[in-house]
Amino acid sequence: MTDTTPVATIIEAISNRALDYAILLAAIGTLSMAFIELVKGLTSWRRHFHQRALELWMPDQDCRRELLVLAAGGEQNADVLFDQPTERMLGQIQAASNLSLEYPDRYPHAYKFFSQEDLQMMAQKTSSMVSDSELWANFATRIAREGFTTDKEQQIKQENEGRAAQQARVRLGNLIARRLDMFQNRTQYRWARLNQLFSIITGAALTAYALASTHKIDSPKELFALLLLSLLAGMLAPFAKDVVAAISGLRAKA
C-alpha cells in the first residue's frame, strides 16, 4: 500500500504557507478599505463625485438649480443630496422629475431636460408631428391657467385633448424612468470602479512598504519584482479573507 504521508506533509506545508500569505493579504485588504473609508469621510469624496456626475449629465446651470429646488429644497441643501448613496440620491431626483412633469410651466428647464426625446424618436418623427413634451406641456399649462370648462362642446374637445395628453405623459414617464436608470447604473458603475482602483493602489502601496521594510532592494530586478508582487497583492487583497476562510475550514476538517 502506497504511503501518502509525504504527500500529506507537502500539502500541509503548502497550505500553511498559503494561509500565512492569505492572512497578510487579508490584513492589507482590511487596512486598505479602512483607510479608503476614512479618506471618503474626511474629504467628502462621494459628495464631490456625485456633484461632478450630475454636472456632466445635466450641463445647464438653470436646470440644475430647478432640480435642487425640487429634490433638496434649494441649492443650500445640495451637499445633503449629493452626500447620500447613489440609489437614495436618484430616488430624490426621480421625485423631482415627477414634479417637473406635473408642473412644466413652473419648472421649464428641468421639464425640458427630463422630457427631451432621444435621437431615435426624433428621427422617426415628421415635421408635422407634435412631440410628447410639447403636447403634454401645452395641455398642462392651459389647464393650470384656464381650468376645466363647463361648456358641453368644449368639455368633449377638452376630454379628447386630455386623453392624447395623458398618453403623451405616460410615454414621457417611461422615457424619464429609462434615462434615470441609465444615469444611476452609469454612476454606480463608475463609483465602484473608482473605489476598486483606489483599493488596489492602497493595497499595493501597503504591500510595497511591508516588503521594502523587511527586504533590502539591491538591484533593478529586485525592485521590479517588488513592484510586481505589490500590484498582485493589491489586486488579491480584497479576496484574501475568503481564501483564509476556505483554508481554515480545510485544516479544521483535517
State whether residue 238 is helix, strand or coil.
Answer: helix
**Nearest C-alpha neighbor of 145 from the set 103, 98, 96:** 103
Residue extents of the structural domains in the chain: 18-253
Contact partners, residue 201, CB within 8 Å, separation at least 6: 234
Q: What is the pLDDT of residues 174-212, one digit of tens each?
A: 889 999 999 999 999 999 888 888 888 888 888 788 778
Amino acid 22 reads A
Measured CA to CA, the distance from residue 174 to residue 224 in angstroms comes to 54
Q: What is the pLDDT of residue 19?
A: 59
Measured CA to CA, the distance from residue 78 to residue 128 in angstroms comes to 41
Q: Output the nine-digit C-alpha cell for 110.
A: 428641468
Number of alpha carbons in the 13 Å side-chain half-sphere of residue 85: 3
Collect the ranges in the chain with pLDDT lower than 50. 1, 119-120, 123, 250, 252-253
Could you tell me the pTM of the whole model?
0.73
Residue 84 carries which DSSP code? Answer: S
Backbone phi, psi, residue 248, to 5°? -65, -40
Q: What is the pLDDT of residue 121?
A: 52
Distances (CA, A) of 184 to 80, 177, 187, 248: 18, 10, 5, 39
Residue 56 CB neighbours (<10 A)? 11
Q: What is the pLDDT of residue 27?
A: 73
Q: Is 1 exposed, middle or buried (0-12, 13-18, 19+ CB in 10 A)?
A: exposed
Q: What is the pLDDT of residue 214?
A: 77
- Could you tell me how many residues make up the chain? 254
Residues 78/105, Cβ–Cβ less than 8 Å: no
Distances (CA, A) of 67 to 112, 166, 183: 12, 23, 15
